């Protein structure tokens, strides 16, 4: 399996989009490109599983390496473990769905798709990189398109939101950069490298240095995944972004942060992780509950989903902070689950908005009658969000809970129970919103609205397949992710 | 093994029905959806009876003790070694009994709905949801793993939500559906944490292993679970209390009962299936399933007994005042489940004290028959008069002879009139309470009198009282064959289910439990039942002034019972005033103004500072030269200072 293909494919699709003129051709090329990405991601999963089944227990598989800056030991080094395979599959699902729901974008179609594809490329590159420098490069590649997507195709106070998002994420990137440099320079002169595997093998970073640089990396990446109290770009950014933009933002970009917290911060600086674990737990438990309560008061569907994302992403960081194998596996599952679910949620909000031209919950009602398909999808997204068995959210949350409960002291217990309490609050806000939108008496002006078109249906089905595949048969994801978390656990040296 | 296939099919056929009807119901099946669903369920029911028969009479009994059989079990999600969610099928006396109850009542409701829901716009969706519910409920009773129970538990909850909210464009249906889901979800939070606690100490999620580890007093698991304590109670007690909280939510025990009366917004056959016979007894089933562990903690058992007894009495009092016939039945259900609960609470785990367990399961079985019958009968009445209110009824016995007769049988059964099913199971429960706790026995005895009274109040108000007059003559009569057949079949069950020698088959340890009836013991409850019926005849057989006068003379007591003791209002206060206004609103405000305010402040202050200092970059060479000189002087001074 040639991993660079996964980066080349979106890049080539983007170039092809750049060349052609007709919007319809742009759409078709992007669609074909994203179908191929999905195929490639599934192929990667199969190849990866086979390799593992054949007894290849290397930490990273399918590695490729080209030296690009030998004097500083920077190389284009790619490789995957189960965690990255899971993230790549997530990305490919969301990309395909995002391309499909954007079918009707008329304004600067070409540029729109170009940015989506560049964003996808950045995400793939980020998840594949084994070199911190390259990883950072791809992280930035994934930020810039968001600024333009919101600024140009957004709605509402889009300039404000675009600025806020870009500045906060850039600030976060600066922290990440400091952290990466700290890791780089902590090594002796001969050992300095950006290569993750080399750092793990050869560099003995002193616990003090780890404790200094861990916060930079963790907070930096944490901002991406809505770490409390640096989460405020999430509601504004998501609600101003165009539909596909929100999907990519919540489905993919926020996962860059979670992945970075795990792969870079926790994996490279285990002593730092142990030092700050309790603070992470406090902040993420706050995010889980506080995000859920704040959601209850939101009136706009996009704000509801954005705040609920803060709450759900809190589970990711909570799982990481708990430092048990089960909890970290749960954190990865939650990333995948939340990515699919929230993309579905934003997609369906976009579909509703296109028809009703409002996102205010109180202005809707009884839409089940006019658009049964869209409302069923809304129900599925909502039920997944509130953790109904059969959908992915349940599996991920329960894994986090079980893993958290393995820590037997009072502090961890309280944090876990606090996080568990969110399942009730989530049920409240989801049922309030979904119930109000789909059920109740319908407004006369909405009665004649049409249901989903083929592209919208396909987009929803793609994401639902992902959600159900995890929810009904979670063992495959568990088997995929667990070896990856074991490596991190060994590095942490707990258990 | 054929048993494996059959048992698996019992669960999978309703799932198939759900998928078929859910995905293709509208486009392909249309008006035949009901028949498709019913046919699949008929097969499920036959298989359930077959499996139960095979279990009870062929395979299950080894040397006089019923053994648990697990025809299927596989790992679904492994958390850590030993801790995994397994999907499996468990056959033991209570699960086989529940198989029969769930599939039979569900089949009756399927058939009945062919008539009752005919012409409904979302007819295929209705049958899809029914199939989903049946699937979840059967999965729940066959679970081998406590997390598996939890999963199906949630699925049952969501199907209940969907069915209560079936008439989705009615605001009250939406509100009731939400209420049911959220209240039970709150209870499930307890259940979930209870699972976490119990599994932490037993290091397993498998029910049989968990029971084994947490009931052997010498085992390590048991020792640590009892030794660990929090606020004066052991971890084991806490775990069980929390699990019971989940059960109390589903089974509508006080104070988590508030969703059940509102749940009557759903179509009446749904109320019969979900909110009378099957789902609401899931809590009882849960306690029974983990009974060996519960019996290790006398505190929890007492708690269960008191909660059950109080709920029984509390609901019975309210039932006497309600005028919506479905609400009367809803409170009656809550009251009867209270009986089952406290029967478990007064049960012990020795062959002398284990009567309560058998009695509870027995009552669950008979109650399913007569309560489903009552609801379906009420449905036929509502179908006929197009109203839920007693004042719109009366004198229907001539118009609806079959409904009247079957309803009467059910009323007699629930009132505990001798020779009908309810009599036998209630006697056993009373006996079990009598042996353990006189206070609970007293409450139960008094409540059984109340039960007879409110049931016959209902009966006379519907079928006697005044001659039936209506502006419109009903066009469909009593309801066709499909609606009457389930009534008759259930009436047979309600009349004769009591003759099953239940103790032989269902007991807490699998050994036959000899029940013995004592005529002397039965005198008090039967007398009270007859007194209750007599009072109802006196007050309600003919329309008169007496009931009004009595309720007026009872004043505050009657009013508060009529308003369900204002429990709803208390909840509303807590949720609206406390949760929304004290927690959620400040949280949203804090986020918008403080946290986001700081972010904006950071942005604004950057702009402000740069605005202030941008004058330095003036482009004037003279100014730069000045800065340059000042800098050099400053550096020199610093250097001199450092030098010294």
> Could you read off the pLDDT of B418-428 as tens digits, one per residue?
888 888 888 88
Q: What are the tens digits of pLDDT across the range A335-359?
A: 999 999 999 999 999 999 988 888 8
Answer whether residue B251 shows pLDDT above 80: yes
Q: Give me A10's structure tokens.
A: 């979106």
Strand-strand pairing, B83-91 and B229-230: unpaired
CA B76 – CA B516 distance, rounded (Å): 45
- Per-residue pLDDT tens over the stretch B480-500: 888 889 999 999 988 888 888
Summary count for chain B: helices (H), strands (E)? 28, 6
Q: Which residue pairs from B549-554 have beta carbons closer than 8 angstroms and sit at least 24 positions apart in sequence? A: B551/B321
Tokens standing for B343?
């029967």
Of A232, A395, A435, the CB nearest to B178: A435
HSE (side-chain half, CA atoms, 13 Å) at B399? 24
* Mean pLDDT value of segment B326-339: 92
Asked if the ipTM is above 0.95, the reply is no
Kindly report the number of other CB atoms within 10 A of residue A404's CB atom. 28
Q: Which residue has the higher pLDDT, B51 or B602?
A: B51
Going by pLDDT thresholds of 50, 70 and 90, the confidence category of residue A86 is very high
**Across the interface, do A294 and B75 touch by the CB < 8 Å criterion?**
no
For A144-186, the pLDDT digits (tens) are 888 898 888 888 888 888 888 888 899 999 999 999 999 998 8
* pLDDT at residue A494 in the model: 65
Contact B132, B117 (CB under 8 A): no
- Residue B553, pLDDT above cutoff 90: no
Give the separation between CA B540 and CA B549, rounded to whole angstroms.
Answer: 13
A391 has a chain B CB within 8 A of its CB: no
Of A297, A408, A439, the CB nearest to B165: A439
Has residue B107 got a pLDDT over 90?
yes
Contact: A368, B181; criterion CB under 8 Å: no
pLDDT > 90 fraction of chain A, expressed in percent and rounded: 53
Residues 234-273 of A with CB under 8 A from B: none
Distance CA A19, CA A30 (A): 12
For residue B325, give how far its alpha carbon lies from the nearest alpha carbon of chain A (Å): 25
pLDDT higher than threshold 70 for residue A228: yes
| pLDDT given for residue B516 in this prediction | 66
What are phi and psi for residue B310, nearest 5 degrees?
A: -65, -45
The C-alpha atoms of residue B583 and residue B605 are separated, in whole angstroms, by 31
pLDDT band at A443 (very low <50, low <70, confident <90, very high): confident
pLDDT of A373 over the 80 cut: yes
Instruction: Please check whether residue B39 touches A, CB under 8 A.
Output: no
Per-residue pLDDT, averaged over B595-616, amounts to: 83
Whether the per-residue pLDDT at B515 is higher than 70: the answer is no
Using a CB–CB cutoff of 8 Å, tell me whether B53 touches chain A.
no
**A144 burial class (0-12, 13-18, 19+ CB within 10 angstroms)?**
middle
Angstrom distance (rounded) from CA B58 to CA B52: 10
| Distance (Å, whole) CA A326 – CA B279 | 32
B154 interfaces chain A, CB cutoff of 8 Å: yes
pLDDT for res B476: 63
Which residues of chain A lie closer than 8 angstroms to B188, CB-CB?
423
Distances (CA, A) of B241 to A449, B150, B294, B340, B639: 50, 16, 9, 17, 75
Q: How confident is the model at residue B302 (pLDDT cuts 50, 70, 90)?
A: very high
**Chain centroid to CA B392: how far?**
30
From B285's Cα to the closest Cα of chain A, the distance in A is 20
Q: What is the 3-class SS of chain A, one letter each residue?
A: CCCHHHHHHHHHHHHHHHHCCCHHHHHHHHHHHHHHHHHHHHHHHHHHHHHHHCCCCCCCEEEEEEEEEHHHCEEEEEEECHHHHHHHHHHHHHHHHHHHHHHHCCCCHHHHHHHHHHHHHHHHHHHHECEHHHHHHHHHHHHHHHHHHHHHHCCCCHHHHHHHHHHHHHHHHHHHHHHHHHHHHHCCCCCCCCEHHHHHHHCCCCHHHHHHHHHHHHHHHHHHCCCCCCCCHHHHHHHHCCHHHHHHHHHHHHHHHHHHHHHHHHHHCHHHHHHHHHHHHHHHHHHHHHHHHHHHCCCEHHHHHHHHHHHHHHHHHHHHHHCCHHHHHHHHHHHHHHHHHHHHHHHHHHHHHHHHCCCEHHHCCCCCCCCHHHHHHHHHHHHHHCCCCCCHHHHHHHHHHHHHHCCCCHHHHHHHHHHHHHHHHHHHHHHHHHHHHHCCCCCHHHCCCCCCCHHHHHHHHHHHHHHHHHHHCCHHHHHHHHHHHHHHHHHHCCC
Which residue of chain A is at minimal alpha-carbon distance from B588? A294
Q: How confident is the model at residue A377 (pLDDT cuts 50, 70, 90)?
A: very high
Please compute the mean of the pLDDT values over residues A78-102 and round it to a whole number. Answer: 93
**pLDDT average, residue stretch A238-264:** 90
Chain B nearest-CA residue for A473: B76
Residue B627 has pLDDT above 60, yes or no: yes
What are the pLDDT digits (tens) for B394-417?
778 888 888 889 999 999 999 888
B445: its two tokens = 């005895």
Predicted local confidence at residue A474, as pLDDT: 92
pLDDT tens readout for residues A43-76 = 999 999 998 888 888 888 888 888 888 888 889 9
DSSP H helices, B25-145, are 33-53, 93-116, 123-141
Mean pLDDT of the B425-434 span: 88
Query: For residue B174, which residues of chain A lie inside 8 Å, CB to CB?
Result: 435, 439-440
Looking at residues A239-262, what average pLDDT do you find? 90
**A468-489 pLDDT tens trace:** 999 999 999 999 999 899 999 9
Mean pLDDT of chain B: 87
pLDDT tens, B158-198?
999 999 989 888 888 888 898 899 899 999 999 999 999 99
Q: What is the pLDDT of residues A205-226, one digit of tens each?
A: 888 888 999 999 999 999 999 8
Mean residue pLDDT across chain A: 90
Using the predicted structure, report yes or no on whether residue B248 has a pLDDT greater than 90.
yes
DSSP B591: I
Q: What is the pLDDT of residue B593?
A: 82
Q: Is B79 within 8 Å of A399 when comparing Cβ atoms?
A: yes
Judge whether residue B552 has pLDDT over 70.
Answer: yes
B178 and chain A: CB distance < 8 Å anywhere?
Answer: yes
| Mean pLDDT across B426-436 | 88
pLDDT at A485: 92
pLDDT: is A137 or B586 the higher one? A137
User: Which pLDDT score is estimated for A410?
Assistant: 87
Query: Is B193 an interface residue toward A (CB < 8 Å)?
Result: yes
Chain A, 286 to 325: residues with Cβ < 8 Å from chain B are 290, 293-294, 296-298, 325
The residue ranking higher by pLDDT, B222 or A382, is A382
**Between residues 145 and 204 of chain A, which touch chain B (CB distance below 8 Å)?**
163-164, 167-168
């Amino acid at each position: 399996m040639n991993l660079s293909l996964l980066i080349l494919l979106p890049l080539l699709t983007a170039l092809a989009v750049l060349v052609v003129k007709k919007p319809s051709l742009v759409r078709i090329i992007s669609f074909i490109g994203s179908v191929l990405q999905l195929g490639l991601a599934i192929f990667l999963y199969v190849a990866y599983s086979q390799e593992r089944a054949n007894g290849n227990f290397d930490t990273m598989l399918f590695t490729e390496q080209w030296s690009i800056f030998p004097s500083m030991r920077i190389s284009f080094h790619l490789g995957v473990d189960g965690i990255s395979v899971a993230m790549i599959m997530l990305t490919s699902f969301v990309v395909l769905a995002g391309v499909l729901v954007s079918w009707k974008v008329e304004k600067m179609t070409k540029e729109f798709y170009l940015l989506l594809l560049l964003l996808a490329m950045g995400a793939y590159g980020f998840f594949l990189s084994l070199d911190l420098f390259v990883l950072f490069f791809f992280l930035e590649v994934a930020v810039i398109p968001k600024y333009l997507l919101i600024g140009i195709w957004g709605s509402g106070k889009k300039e404000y939101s675009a600025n806020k998002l870009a500045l906060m994420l850039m600030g976060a990137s600066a922290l990440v950069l400091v952290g990466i440099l700290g890791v780089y320079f902590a090594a002796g002169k001969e050992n300095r490298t950006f290569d993750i595997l080399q750092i793990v093998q050869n560099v003995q970073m002193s616990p003090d240095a780890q404790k200094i640089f861990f916060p930079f990396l963790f907070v930096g990446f944490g901002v991406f995944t809505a770490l409390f109290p640096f989460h405020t770009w999430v509601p504004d950014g998501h609600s101003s972004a165009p539909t596909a933009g929100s999907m990519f933002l919540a489905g993919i970009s926020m996962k860059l942060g979670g992945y970075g917290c795990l792969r870079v911060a926790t994996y490279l600086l285990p002593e730092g992780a142990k030092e700050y674990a309790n603070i992470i737990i406090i902040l993420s438990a706050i995010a889980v509950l506080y995000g859920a309560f704040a959601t209850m008061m939101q009136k706009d569907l996009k704000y509801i989903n954005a705040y609920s994302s803060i709450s759900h992403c809190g589970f990711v960081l909570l799982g990481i902070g708990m430092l048990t194998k089960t909890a970290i596996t749960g954190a990865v599952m939650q990333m995948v689950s939340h990515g699919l679910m929230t993309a579905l949620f934003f997609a369906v909000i976009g579909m509703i908005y296109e028809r009703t031209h409002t996102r205010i919950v109180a202005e809707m009602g009884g839409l089940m009658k006019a658009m049964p398909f869209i409302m069923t999808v809304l129900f599925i997204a909502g039920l997944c969000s509130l953790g109904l068995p059969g959908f992915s959210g349940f599996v991920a949350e329960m894994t986090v809970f079980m893993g958290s409960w393995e820590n037997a002291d009072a502090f961890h217990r309280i944090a876990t129970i606090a996080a568990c309490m969110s399942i009730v609050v989530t049920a409240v806000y989801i049922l309030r919103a979904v119930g109000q939108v789909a059920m109740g008496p319908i407004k006369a002006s909405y009665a004649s609205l049409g249901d989903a078109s083929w592209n919208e249906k396909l987009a929803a089905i793609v994401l639902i397949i992902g959600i159900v595949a995890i929810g009904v048969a979670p063992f495959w994801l568990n088997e995929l992710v667990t070896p990856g978390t074991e490596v991190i656990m060994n590095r942490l040296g707990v258990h | 093994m054929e048993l494996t296939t059959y048992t698996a099919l019992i669960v999978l056929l309703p799932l198939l029905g759900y998928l078929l009807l859910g995905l293709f119901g509208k486009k392909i099946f249309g008006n035949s959806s009901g028949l498709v669903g019913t046919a699949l369920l008929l097969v499920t029911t036959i298989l359930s009876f077959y499996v139960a028969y095979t279990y009870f009479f062929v395979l299950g009994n080894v040397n006089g003790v019923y053994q648990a059989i697990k025809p299927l079990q596989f790992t679904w999600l492994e958390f850590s070694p030993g801790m995994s969610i397994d999907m499996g099928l468990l056959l033991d006396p209570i699960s086989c009994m529940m198989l029969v109850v769930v599939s039979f009542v569900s089949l009756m409701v399927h058939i009945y709905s062919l008539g009752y829901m005919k012409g409904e716009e979302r007819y295929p969706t209705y049958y899809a949801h029914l199939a989903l519910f049946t699937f979840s409920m059967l999965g729940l009773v066959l679970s081998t793993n406590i997390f598996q129970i939890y999963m199906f538990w949630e699925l049952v909850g969501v199907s209940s939500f969907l069915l209560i909210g079936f008439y989705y464009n009615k605001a009250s249906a939406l509100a009731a559906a939400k209420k049911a889901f959220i209240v039970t979800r709150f209870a499930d939070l307890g259940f979930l944490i209870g699972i976490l606690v119990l599994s932490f100490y037993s290091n397993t999620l498998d029910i049989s292993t968990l029971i084994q580890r947490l009931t052997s007093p010498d085992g390590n698991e048991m020792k640590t679970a009892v030794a660990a304590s929090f606020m004066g109670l052991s971890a084991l007690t806490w775990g069980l209390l929390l699990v019971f909280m989940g059960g109390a939510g589903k089974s509508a025990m006080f104070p988590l009962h508030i969703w059940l009366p509102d749940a009557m917004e759903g179509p009446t056959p749904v109320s019969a299936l979900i909110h009378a016979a099957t789902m609401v007894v899931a809590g009882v089933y849960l306690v029974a399933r983990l009974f060996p562990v519960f019996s290790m903690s006398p505190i929890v058992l007492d708690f269960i007994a008191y909660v059950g007894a109080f709920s029984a009495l509390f609901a019975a009092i309210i039932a006497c005042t309600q005028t919506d016939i479905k609400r009367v039945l809803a409170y009656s259900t809550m009251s009867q489940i209270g009986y089952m609960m406290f029967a478990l609470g007064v049960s012990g785990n020795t062959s002398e004290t284990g009567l309560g367990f058998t009695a509870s399961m027995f009552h669950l079985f008979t109650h399913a028959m007569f309560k489903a019958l009552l609801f379906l009968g009420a449905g036929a009445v509502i179908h006929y008069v197009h109203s839920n209110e007693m004042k719109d009824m009366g004198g229907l016995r001539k118009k609806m002879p079959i409904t009247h007769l079957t309803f009467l049988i059910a009323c007699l059964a629930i009132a505990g009139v001798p020779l009908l099913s309810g009599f036998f199971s209630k006697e056993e429960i009373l006996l079990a309470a009598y042996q353990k706790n006189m206070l609970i026995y007293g409450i139960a005895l008094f409540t059984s009198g109340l039960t007879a009274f409110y049931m016959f109040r209902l009966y006379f108000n519907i079928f006697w009282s005044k001659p039936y007059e209506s502006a419109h003559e009903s066009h469909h009569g009593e309801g066709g064959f499909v609606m009457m057949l389930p009534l008759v079949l259930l009436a047979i069950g309600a009349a004769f289910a009591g003759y099953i020698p239940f103790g032989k088959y269902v007991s807490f340890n699998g050994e036959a439990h000899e029940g013995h009836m004592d005529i002397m013991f039965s005198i008090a409850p039967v007398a009270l039942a007859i007194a209750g019926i007599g009072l109802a005849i006196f007050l309600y057989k003919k329309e008169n002034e007496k009931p009004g006068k009595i309720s007026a003379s009872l004043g505050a007591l009657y009013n508060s019972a009529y308003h369900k003791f204002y429990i709803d209002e208390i909840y509303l206060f807590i949720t609206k005033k406390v949760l929304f206004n004290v927690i959620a609103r400040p949280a949203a405000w804090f986020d918008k103004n403080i946290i986001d305010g700081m972010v904006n402040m950071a942005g604004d202050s950057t702009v402000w500072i740069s605005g202030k200092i941008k004058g330095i970059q003036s482009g004037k060479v003279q100014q730069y030269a000045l800065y340059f000189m000042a800098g050099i002087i400053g550096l020199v001074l610093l250097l001199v200072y450092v030098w010294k």
